[in-house]
Amino acid sequence: MLWYLGRRLLQVIPVFLGATLLLYALVFLRPGDPVAGLGGERGLPEAVQEQIRAQFHLDQPFIVQYLLYLKGIFTFDLGNTFTGRPVSEVVADALPITFQLAIMALVIETVFGIAFGLWAGIRKGKLFDSSVLVLSLLLIALPTFVTGLVLQIVVGVNLGWLPVTAGRDPDFISLLMPAVVLATTSFAHILRLTRTSVIENITADFVRTARAKGLSRDKVTSRHVLRNSLIPVVTFIGIDLGNLMTGSIIVEGIFNINGVGGTLFRAIGSGESVTIVTLSTVIVLIYIVANLLVDLLYAVLDPRIRYA
Amino acid sequence: MTPRKRLVGLGAFALASSLVLTACGGGGGDDTGDAEGASTGIVTVGNGEPQNPIIPTMTNETFGSKVTSNVFAGLVYYDAEGVVHNEVAESIESEDSQNWTITLKDGWTFSDGTPVTAESFVNAWDYGAALDNAQNLSYFFEPFQGFSYEENTSLIEEGGLTVDDELTFTVALNQPESDFPLRLGYSAFYPLPESFFDDPEAFGKAPIGNGPYVLETWENNSLIELRPNESYAGEREVQNGGVDLVAYSDEDSAYNDLLAGNLDIVTNVPASAFGTFEDELGDRAVNQPAAVIQVMNVPEYVKGFEGEAGLMRRQAISMAIDRDQITETVFSGSRTPASDFTSPVINGWSEDVEGSEVLDYNPDEAKKLWDEAEAIEPWGDEPLLISSNADSDHQSWIDPTCNGIRDTLGIDCEFDAYPTFDEFLDARDNEEIPGLFRGGWQADYPAMSNFLGPIYGTNAGSNDMGYSSEEFDAKLKEANGAEDPDAAVELYKEAETILFNDLPGIPLWYNNATGGWSESVDNVVFGWDSDPILYQVTKSE
């Protein structure tokens, strides 16, 4: 197990280098000159533009910029944003908020998704099952920004039940609505995955055997059906943690949350390559860690996988 | 996993308590004013993160300028109508409109206690103008004697700025500029305390000014707290307990917060609410022209627009655009059709400058002119291109504009899109634009000259069309040198007539300031620069 973990951790290094190089190349190859657009319609004086370019190494060839960026990472100096804030500070500010939001969304979608999916699977074809299926279809079809804006106006503005925006120092209450919005699509996916998986397992031989042994219905459901049905769901949730990070770009915009998504969105707008690459790299790292966790969870759920 | 359990438990409690709180209704105020009618509430205003450190000569965008204009006091300030009042200045005088003697009022101090002297201005301007300091607004010092874009110079050493005594200094310009005093309320001309020069970087994060407010805290990307400045000595008396500038990344969320009563003032209504906000806010809505004009420029190098035929084509295109209809349907009335080259909030604006009838929708005349031009020199089969960046919504008006041109003139017309704003700027600056192109101009100070000189003067900083007219330059110079402001306005109008005759740019519409405020604030007035006058907003609670 430890060997496995170590090997997986070593894999992070090439992935990290490849991802940053790719991201840096993409940002660099974007046509146009972000500095030229900084001053709005009138543009900044040429001297000012040159000074900014020099400060951010934008006047250097691509590979030099990238190496300087790598050097910065290893010396814990990520450079500054165009506004002069250290990027590391920006990331440190944004990450905990997005993490809180993502965890809340993850809990919401997992708990409700599995519960609804299990219930629907067990009572396949009944009214609850069909109505839940319709609901999930609807949720999958609706884009996040639609659910976000509608909820914001109905629940926030008209009913006044929850804060309209999260703003600074977001607490649990102000993050609740954004988390629900962020969770909706994945909730529907988890629900459907669980349901299908439950339906498959419920007719499996081992379940019939367990029943035949005289185990109670609840025990069969929780020990045998649910546990085995969770394997595809866990895979999905692992990948989804990364999606929650990127999905936060829209949700954080709508609810004015200063997390990774909102910051990334602004950085893309102003063409701040260092901030974009750094934040994207953080997201890549989260993907990698999430995948690692999924693989470890597999081993817990299904001992057969453990020594493979 | 105990944290999860704790999170859920905490959440249930928080949810319950918040429901109780909202059930009670009514937003709780921060202060309770004891005196009758005292306004001590903190006014919350939707804003965003300033792009640059808060140094006056660095601040060229609206988020940062809401800070500088309230934290600093310049020689003059503008009231809501754009009228100039002396603030720190006792007098600004000149006999030839070229050499200006500025006398300061006594008794002004910065919020750190140091006095505001002639040196506070002279050193700040000298710093702002120096090439090495790379200040965004350095171009404001272009008219000063000794200014240079080529080498690092000091206006003080070159004689552009001279300190006469503690409260008097002299400015020497390269040529007469009668509207010079009008500019001095702009952020490029604010004074700086001595502490700035010790550590500009630290100052940019915690500026010290002499204005009606002090900057108390600045939490990046979320909040800037402005509180009344006890040592402020001017007329802009603060009527509230302070201002919180709340950063929003999205205009929709700020507007929804306003509707829910969580925000007092919104300075930009999102496009999605243009059609509804006046109904939703009633008399708490603002929709008035701003000091911003949108034009379609005609680069000199584009084929088909030269000579007499070219002029007729420009006139034909202008008359083929139904400005009333586009501003009403596409912009839901959040734009005002243009009737000149300036803006209705500027003193001297008028609807009947000679030659302005070319802006009236007149399809028959347009077609006639186009056909006459065809007789002189055929246009060919090429479509007419209108260039703009596509990263903000320009297609919505370019398409109907093109439709009008197509229907009226019988030629093809297309939106020539550049993916990003900076690519568009790049093409513009490299003279690669293949047709007409969008141009927008926001005034820095309320004067007609600011709309004419920088855009249409020969080789002027923002003359991207390459327009050059000796007649226009001469008229502009004459107007700049005029001693009497009213006479200057008449001369500027004559300069506009020259523009209408040449039509280097086709005026389209003025952007409106769209905004609104909540029921808990009063006395909200949006000024000529589309920003609310914050110091006079009252909020009792």
Domain that holds residue A206: 92-270
Contact criterion met (CB < 8 Å) for B429 and A167: no
Q: What residues of chain B lie within 8 A of the CB of A41, using their CB?
A: 439-442, 462
The values of phi and psi at residue B244, to 5°, are -105, 115
Interface membership of B217 toward A (CB under 8 Å): no
Q: Please tell me whether residues A112 and A215 are part of one structural domain.
A: yes
Interface membership of A42 toward B (CB under 8 Å): yes
Least CB-CB distance to B422: which of A33, A90, A253?
Answer: A33
Q: In B, residues 98-117, which contact A (CB 8 Å cutoff)?
A: none
Interface membership of B135 toward A (CB under 8 Å): yes
Q: How many domains does chain A have?
A: 2
pLDDT in tens, chain B (541 residues): 333 333 333 333 333 333 333 333 333 333 333 344 568 999 999 998 888 889 999 988 889 999 999 999 999 999 988 889 999 999 999 998 899 999 999 999 999 999 999 999 999 999 999 988 988 888 899 999 999 988 899 999 999 999 999 999 999 999 888 889 999 999 999 999 999 999 999 999 999 999 999 999 998 888 999 999 999 999 999 999 999 999 988 888 899 999 999 999 999 999 889 989 999 999 999 999 999 999 999 988 888 888 889 999 999 999 999 999 999 999 999 999 999 999 999 989 999 899 999 999 999 999 999 999 999 988 888 899 999 988 778 899 999 999 999 999 999 999 999 888 888 888 888 888 988 999 888 888 899 999 998 899 988 878 888 899 999 999 998 998 887 878 889 999 999 999 999 999 999 999 999 999 999 999 999 999 889 999 999 998 6
CA distance A299 to A2: 13
Q: In B, residues 33-72, which contact A (CB 8 Å cutoff)?
A: 49-53, 60-61
Q: Note whether A99 and A257 are within 8 A (CB).
A: no
Contact criterion met (CB < 8 Å) for B260 and A167: no
What does the DSSP assignment read for A6-41? HHHHHHHHHHHHHHHHHHHHHHHHSSS-HHHHTTTT
The verdict on residue A110 lying in a domain is yes
Average per-residue pLDDT in chain A? 83
The values of phi and psi at residue A51, to 5°, are -65, -40
Q: Please tell me whether residues A136 and A247 are part of one structural domain.
A: yes
Q: Please tell me whether residues A44 and A191 are part of one structural domain.
A: no
CA distance A114 to B218: 44
Q: Please tell me whether residues A45 and A151 are part of one structural domain.
A: no
The verdict on residue A297 lying in a domain is no
Least CB-CB distance to A43: which of B4, B252, B425?
Answer: B425
Q: Please tell me whether residues A120 and A13 are part of one structural domain.
A: no
Q: What residues of chain A lie within 8 A of the CB of B22, using their CB?
A: 160-161
Q: Best interface-test mutation with A: which of B58, B60, B425 has the largest number of A CBs within 10 A?
A: B425
pLDDT at B38: 60
The verdict on residue A285 lying in a domain is no
Contact criterion met (CB < 8 Å) for A48 and B441: no
Interface membership of A48 toward B (CB under 8 Å): yes
The verdict on residue A80 lying in a domain is no
> How many angstroms away from the CA of B119 is the closest CA of chain A?
25
The verdict on residue A282 lying in a domain is no
Give the total residue count for chain B: 541
Q: What residues of chain A lie within 8 A of the CB of B420, using their CB?
A: 30-32, 37
The verdict on residue A65 lying in a domain is yes
Interface membership of A45 toward B (CB under 8 Å): yes
Contact criterion met (CB < 8 Å) for A163 and B262: yes
Q: Please tell me whether residues A105 and A210 are part of one structural domain.
A: yes
Q: Please tell me whether residues A155 and A224 are part of one structural domain.
A: yes
Please list the alpha-helical segments (H only) found in B420-482. Answer: 421-429, 449-456, 470-481
What is the CATH T-level fold of the domain B53-206, as seen in this structure?
A: Dipeptide-binding Protein; domain 1 (3.90.76)
Interface membership of A171 toward B (CB under 8 Å): yes
CA distance A270 to A264: 10
> How many angstroms away from the CA of A9 is the closest CA of chain B?
23
Q: Please tell me whether residues A126 and A49 are part of one structural domain.
A: no
The verdict on residue A241 lying in a domain is yes
Q: Note whether B414 and B406 are within 8 A (CB).
A: no
Distances (CA, A) of B399 to B389, B391, B412: 14, 15, 12
**Which of A254, A261, A251, A255 shows the shortest CA–CA distance to A286?**
A261
Distances (CA, A) of B349 to A167, A198, B268, B354, B475: 41, 74, 24, 12, 17
A28 exposure class (CB count in 10 Å sphere: 0-12, 13-18, 19+): middle
Low-confidence ranges of chain A (pLDDT < 50): 308
Q: Please tell me whether residues A127 and A50 are part of one structural domain.
A: no
The verdict on residue A303 lying in a domain is no
> How many angstroms away from the CA of A35 is the closest CA of chain B?
8
Q: What CATH number has the domain bearing residue A102?
A: 1.10.3720.10
CA distance B307 to B21: 72
> How many angstroms away from the CA of B494 is the closest CA of chain A?
25
CA distance A254 to A164: 9
Least CB-CB distance to B134: which of A51, A161, A176?
Answer: A51
What does the DSSP assignment read for A280-298? HHHHHHHHHHHHHHHHHHH
**Which of A6, A8, A3 shows the shortest CA–CA distance to A295?**
A8
Q: What residues of chain A lie within 8 A of the CB of B60, using their CB?
A: 39-40, 42
Complex ipTM: 0.80
Q: Note whether B22 and A160 are within 8 A (CB).
A: yes
**Which of B498, B359, B380, B393 shows the shortest CA–CA distance to B435?**
B380
Contact criterion met (CB < 8 Å) for B253 and A253: yes
pLDDT at A306: 58
> How many angstroms away from the CA of A58 is the closest CA of chain B?
15
Buried b (16+ CB within 10 A) or exposed e, B242-274: bbbbbbbbbbbbbbbbbbbebbbbbbbbbbebb
Residues 6+ apart with CB under 8 A from B370: B312, B313, B316, B409, B410, B411
Q: Please tell me whether residues A45 and A166 are part of one structural domain.
A: no
pLDDT at A38: 73
Any idea where the domains of chain B sit in the sequence? 53-206, 290-513
CATH class of B290-513: alpha beta
Q: Note whether B86 and B92 are within 8 A (CB).
A: yes
CA distance A62 to A67: 9
Least CB-CB distance to A157: which of B256, B422, B423?
Answer: B256
Contact criterion met (CB < 8 Å) for B250 and A51: no
Q: Please tell me whether residues A22 and A102 are part of one structural domain.
A: no
CA distance A1 to A307: 7
Q: Please tell me whether residues A21 and A126 are part of one structural domain.
A: no
